[in-house]
Chains A and B, each alone.
Chain A
Amino acid sequence: MDLPIYKINSLKHSYGSKTVLAIEHLTVQPASIVGLIGPNGSGKSTLLKVLGLIEKPTQGKINFNGHLVEPFSDEARFLITMLPQEPFLMKRSVFNNVSYGLKLRGNGRDITDKVNQALSLVGLDSKDFAQRPWYALSGGEAQRVALAARLALKPKVLLLDEPTASVDAASAQLIKEASLRARQEFGTTLIVASHDWQWLYEICDEILHLFKGRIFGTGRETIIFGPWQKLGPNKWGKILPNKQQLLVPAPPDQKAAAVIDIMSVSEDGPTIASEEIALWGTVSRLSLERKTGQLFATILVGDLPFTVRLTPQQNKKHAIFPGKTIHIRYRLDQIKWV
């Protein structure tokens, strides 16, 4: 196996007294695509800033390509680049925005060709766009120009923070395609934070789920966030809009999140044993995990999404499709709190 491009152990990052990131261990293989998922405030952007050497972690070191690095390290600053969530361009023309990084590297030769190539990668015609000022672009175009500025550098690592969150569908598609071409053409390692789970599961070699600054699981877990209600003596949970009760063991605190492992799915109401809970819901989405070929179903129970891994047999037996009503079953004693 190749030397990991990133290797991190016991890394912490805080803003004031609040710890926003606590990574025990993380390795990223070169030329892989890693997805980061998690709710807002879970630490995805902070992790990207730390990996992108924009911020120095409060504790711990980043090993990049065999070197211990920090912001402005010569071993890494020309190899890693990051695209922030909101489109942002410097106050200069499109050409000067895209060529900025090349000029920093003293890479002055063929600069026009490189800029033109990068713009075409993101679906922008350099004749139309190169001389436009920064303010004469739509949000989607600005984000594509910002991505072109990164792609022109042929980076070893490209960190994308919700790259498609604030753009239209057409721009989102072009950004997705351009990001993947970076890996194909330059062998770039992609680390992508996104709420577009379906896209991530399609493209990623590995998915990391972040919650409260910690990495746990692969994002296929069903996580239900508090607050929790006391529904009776020793009975905690939530009353869902369709009158069903989602029951959980006593939570450690009102805002704790429950990780629920779904045991099985069935078309009819299942017979349940003690400590087991059954709920019914509607299949809202089916997705395929590229790396494993595994099929996952997202089932909306009331307004809460549950994720279920489907075996080929289960899928064949129940003929699951979006819109179908289905029953799920979980055990109270297998719920974990985070």
Chain B
Amino acid sequence: MNFLLEGFFEAYRLLVSGNVETYSAILATVKVSSYSIGCSLLLGIPLGFCLGYFNFSGKKPLRTIVDTLMALPTVFIGLLVYAFLTHRGPLGDFGLLFTLPGIAIGQTILALPIVVGLSATAIESMDQKLRITIMSMGANRRQLFLSSLWESRHGILAGAIAAYGRVMTEVGISMMVGGNIKWHTRTITTAIALETNKGQFGMGVALGLVLLAIAFCVNVSVSFLRRRY
């Protein structure tokens, strides 16, 4: 079990000494997860609102599909995105394979159903009296939409955190679409996988702790925002 203890010391050393390789992986992780979570929130919140708010034929089957997609295996997404982005694939001309935007596309596909599904749940569980209140104050349709979203912010935020957690910790997409290229597409999770394969447990634990620290910072920030608003 010494390697765990070593891992703590190694983590401390790597971070304090400003180890370039470690910071490259951290930067790649933060970058790619920010792109993907940004895109999935931008697309997912309006879609989740529509799914939760409106009644239309086919709503239930659509909801079941979204809920199923929440459990999409990352390697399967990796495989599909790889197939699309490879030179022989339909999007091969864009040259996105083995790039951070390529990983971000895969991670957006991973996060989108989570954001849509949990936003829809937050909107569905919205009190019917909220709609009456907003409308009775004179809101138009756009204001009703924005105010309803704002009132469901805590539920939507919970969905965003769940999606962010999934994106930050996935390996399959980053490995398959990114290729784990040092200084370029190596993220924290792919680096951990590599270091473990090399028997460098200390480095692996160190990177794992960094990942945990990032998740902690995100959650503390979100908790602060929740208290503030």
Using a CB–CB distance below 8 Å, which chain A residues touch chain B? 49, 52-54, 71-72, 77-78, 80-84, 86, 88-91, 100-101, 104-105, 146, 149-150, 153, 159
Contact = CB atoms under 8 A, between A and B. Distances in A.
A84 B151 contact: no
Contacts of A81: 136-138
A53 B140 CA distance: 12
A261 to B, nearest CB: 38
B62 interface: no
Contact of A52 (B127, B129, B136): B136
Interface string B130-141: 111111111111
B147 interface: yes
A20 to B, nearest CB: 16
B140 A72 contact: yes
Contacts of A78: 138
Interface of B: 127, 129-141, 143, 147, 151, 153-154
B135 A53 contact: yes
A153 B151 contact: no
B133 A90 contact: yes
**Residue with the greatest number of chain A CB neighbours at <10 A, chosen from B131, B132, B134, B141:** B132
B135 A54 contact: yes
A325 B44 CA distance: 69
Contacts of B137: 81, 100-101, 104, 149-150, 153
Contacts of A82: 132, 136
B136 A104 contact: no
B127 A150 contact: no
A90 B130 contact: yes
Rank and list the top 8 A-B pairs by shortest CB-CB distance, nearest first.
Answer: A101-B137, A88-B129, A82-B136, A77-B138, A78-B138, A81-B136, A54-B135, A104-B138
A100 B136 CA distance: 11
B139 A88 contact: no
B130 A88 contact: yes
B129 A86 contact: yes
Contacts of A89: 133
**Residue with the greatest number of chain B CB neighbours at <10 A, chosen from A86, A89, A101:** A101
A33 to B, nearest CB: 19
19 contacts: A49-B132, A52-B136, A54-B135, A72-B141, A77-B138, A81-B136, A81-B138, A83-B136, A84-B133, A84-B136, A88-B132, A91-B153, A104-B137, A104-B138, A104-B139, A105-B138, A150-B137, A153-B138, A159-B136
Given A81-B136, A90-B134, 7 more contacts: A71-B135, A77-B140, A78-B138, A82-B136, A104-B139, A104-B143, A149-B137
Contacts of B136: 52, 54, 80-84, 150, 159
A232 B117 CA distance: 62
B197 to A, nearest CB: 48
Contacts of B132: 49, 52, 54, 82, 84, 88
Contacts of B154: 91
A49 B129 CA distance: 11
Contacts of B133: 84, 88-90, 146
A292 B134 CA distance: 38
A338 B153 CA distance: 48
Contact of A101 (B131, B138, B151, B153): B138
Contacts of B135: 52-54, 71-72, 77
Given A82-B132, A84-B132, A84-B133, A90 B147 contact: yes
Contacts of B130: 88, 90
A174 B135 CA distance: 25
Given A90-B147, A90-B151, A91-B151, A84 B129 contact: yes
A146 B129 CA distance: 12
Contacts of A54: 131-132, 135-136
Nearest to A80: B136
B132 to A, nearest CB: 5
A88 B138 contact: no
**Residue with the greatest number of chain A CB neighbours at <10 A, chosen from B137, B139, B147, B154:** B137
Contacts of A77: 135, 138-140
A104 B84 CA distance: 46
Contacts of A100: 137, 147
B113 to A, nearest CB: 26
Nearest to A149: B137
A290 B207 CA distance: 79
A295 B131 CA distance: 41
A86 B133 CA distance: 11
Contacts of B143: 104
Nearest to B143: A104
